[in-house]
Amino acid sequence: MGIYLNPGKSSYEEAVNSEIYVDKSELIAYLNTVVKTKQKYVSVSRPRRFGKTMAADMICAYYDREADSRDLFEKVQLSKNSAASGKDRWDEYLGSFDVIRIVMTKFFKKTNSVDEGLEKMQRLVSRELMKKYPDADYFDEKDLIQTIEDAYAENKWQLVIVIDEWDAVFREFPEDKNGQITYLDFLRDLIKDKSYIALAYMTGILPIKKYGKHSALNMFTEYSMTYV
């Protein structure tokens, strides 16, 4: 279990075992319908305290191939409602992918520039990939996209990428328009039309469409708090 690569189930397990737990596990049933399709890009924009991080923890726990989460998901509504309704198997993609989980505020809240935050994030995530798959022929440890492509060429495990607080750059560097464009272009190049992506899931306070004419992330379907 890593910090960024295959982070496991412990955070979601704590939530499920807590006295107050809001079961949002049926979100997985929807996500399973878009996994490995052209609709595999999902963005959720909601205010703080609306459970975005808990849902991200749940997604990681479900898809992480190293998490061994069957017992955990057998407790929640995803499996119970699937069994009662006779719908498609709730565990179709359980434990099927490598998962990369990135909380963007960690990299942009205490850095001096967008470039500095991006460089730090890429090196840390790349380091875990290289430790996990040491036999791959890596070209540049500072280039996360290239590192993922090199690892995928070696192991063929598709990724679920979960990005929490994706809009951190816009909140921490509101005047840095060039930095914002650089960041959006990086996310596009990381995610869009990549064979190694099975699912991309992003959360944030601000919606993607807020950023006007720059359409680097126009492949995402956005869901706000107005969606049930």
Rg, C-alpha atoms of the chain: 17
pLDDT of residue 49: 55
How do the domains of the chain map onto residue ranges?
10-224
For residue 84, is pLDDT > 50? no
pLDDT of residue 175: 93
Neighbours of 157 (CB within 10 A): 16
CA dist., res. 96 & res. 75, Å (int) = 19
pLDDT of residue 29: 92
Residue pair 77/16 in contact (Cβ under 8 Å)? The answer is no
* Dihedral sign (CA 94, 26, 162, 156): positive
* Dihedral sign (CA 35, 65, 63, 219): negative
Token pair, residue 157, equals 């495990």
Type of residue at 199: L
Residue pair 90/30 in contact (Cβ under 8 Å)? The answer is no
- Under CATH, what is the fold of the domain 10-224? Rossmann fold (3.40.50)
b/e per residue 11-28 (b: at least 16 CB within 10 A): bbbebbeeeeeeeebebb
Residue pair 182/118 in contact (Cβ under 8 Å)? The answer is yes
pLDDT band at 217 (very low <50, low <70, confident <90, very high): confident
Residue-wise pLDDT tens digits, 135-167: 999 999 899 999 999 999 999 999 999 999 999
CA dist., res. 152 & res. 135, Å (int) = 11
* Higher per-residue pLDDT: 209 or 18: 18
